[in-house]
């Protein structure tokens, strides 16, 4: 008696897969299950293309393909894959799924050949997944596909982890340079590099970033911690205690995961002559006056001892408002 394991859904979106339409309706009879993935992606990537009006990608579409229907490229120059690096990729895929889809071309109705991403395809099988996200390319024009994806990367709203995966894949698989990527999407080179570094975080931390409970600023601070368990413990503290990015940087700097965060009051802005103005108001109103300057507005506090004292102060402020009526 054979058992069929259900298709394992990924929970973090699909990187470049968020930038390209799924298979057209005419292909719905094929074995591609891209349409199903659209409605079940827990990351919110589903339907994102129509919401942000992504540019058309001629000769390519996104699909979830059974790994058994894909065969390696016959002219793949790489024959040796580092076992340790492969094990890390397998662990990452088991924990957070695949953020960078493979690129394939169709050979027949249910047969595809890898163009890019053999490591990801192999790691997917080792992880026990039955499907792999793929960009199905119908054209040999790499430059056209790259340009279309760059255009959509500029338009689409990705979470920090999807954005990092998309940047990395554009650089690695599509021969895009840092300068071209920065220019086309309106980012600086350091910003792109710092975003890509998020892919070095532990899978547990990456899940929190993708879910939006951990900011990209917190994630970049955690990159200074190499131990994955320590990264995860700190991420848990950030979420549980509401630690700010500055507070996390303080903990990371001293390498003390259990260190309590010093919550110091923010220094108030100081304007020249502020104390003198408060003193002049105090003399004029014959009571204590405090002047506070905030980041966007200020506040004057006037103290009074009684209602009669308040009436006196009001009369000084506005002589027309003689206080012969009750307050």
Residues with a catalytic annotation lie at 118
* Six-digit token string for 323: 């206080």
Q: Using an 8 Å Cβ cutoff, are 147 and 60 in contact?
A: no
Helix (H, G, I), strand (E, B) or coil at 112: strand
Cα–Cα distance measured from residue 312 to residue 324, given in angstroms and rounded to the nearest whole number: 11
Q: Using an 8 Å Cβ cutoff, are 160 and 60 in contact?
A: no
Report which DSSP code applies to 287. S
**Intra-chain end-to-end CA distance of the chain, in Å:** 89
Dihedral Cα 45, 212, 90, 4, nearest 10 deg: -50
* Six-digit token string for 206: 């990456």
- What length does the chain have? 327
- φ, ψ (nearest 5 deg) of residue 139: -125, 155
Q: Which long-range contacts (CB under 8 A, 24 or more apart) does 65-69 make?
A: 65/31, 65/32, 65/33, 65/104, 65/112, 65/131, 65/132, 65/134, 65/136, 66/31, 66/130, 66/131, 67/121, 67/124, 67/125, 67/129, 67/130, 67/131, 67/132, 69/31, 69/110, 69/111, 69/112
- Helix-strand-coil percent breakdown of the chain, rounded to 5? 50, 10, 40
Distance of CA 4 to the CA centre of its chain: 35
């Amino acid at each position: 008696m054979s058992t069929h394991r259900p298709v394992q859904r990924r929970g973090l979106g699909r990187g470049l897969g968020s930038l390209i339409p799924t298979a057209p309706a005419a292909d719905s009879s094929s074995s591609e299950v891209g349409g199903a993935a659209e409605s079940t992606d827990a990351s919110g990537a589903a339907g994102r293309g129509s919401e942000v009006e992504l540019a058309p990608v001629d000769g390519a579409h996104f699909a979830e393909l059974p790994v058994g229907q894909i065969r390696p490229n016959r002219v793949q120059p790489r024959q040796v894959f580092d076992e340790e690096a492969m094990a890390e990729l397998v662990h990452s895929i088991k924990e957070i799924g695949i953020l960078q889809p493979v690129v394939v071309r169709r050979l027949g109705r249910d047969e595809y050949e890898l163009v890019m991403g053999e490591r990801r395809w192999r790691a997917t099988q080792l992880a026990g997944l039955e499907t792999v996200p793929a960009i199905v390319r119908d054209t040999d024009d790499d430059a056209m596909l790259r340009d279309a994806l760059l255009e959509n990367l500029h338009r689409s709203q990705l979470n920090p982890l999807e954005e990092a995966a998309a940047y990395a894949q554009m650089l690695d698989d599509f021969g895009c340079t840092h300068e071209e990527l920065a220019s086309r999407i309106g980012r600086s080179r350091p910003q792109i590099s710092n975003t890509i570094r998020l892919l070095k975080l532990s899978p547990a931390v990456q899940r929190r970033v993708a879910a939006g409970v951990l900011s990209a600023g917190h994630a970049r601070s955690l990159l200074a911690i190499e131990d994955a368990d320590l990264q995860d413990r700190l991420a848990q503290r950030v979420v549980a205690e509401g630690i700010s990015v500055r507070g996390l940087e303080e903990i990371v700097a001293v390498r003390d995961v259990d260190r309590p965060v010093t919550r110091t009051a923010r220094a108030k802005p100081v304007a020249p002559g502020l104390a003198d103005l408060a003193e002049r108001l105090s003399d004029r109103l014959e009571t204590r006056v405090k002047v506070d300057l905030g980041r966007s507005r200020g506040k004057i506090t006037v103290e009074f001892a009684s209602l009669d004292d308040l009436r006196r102060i009001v009369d000084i402020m506005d002589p027309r408002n003689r206080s012969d009526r009750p307050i």
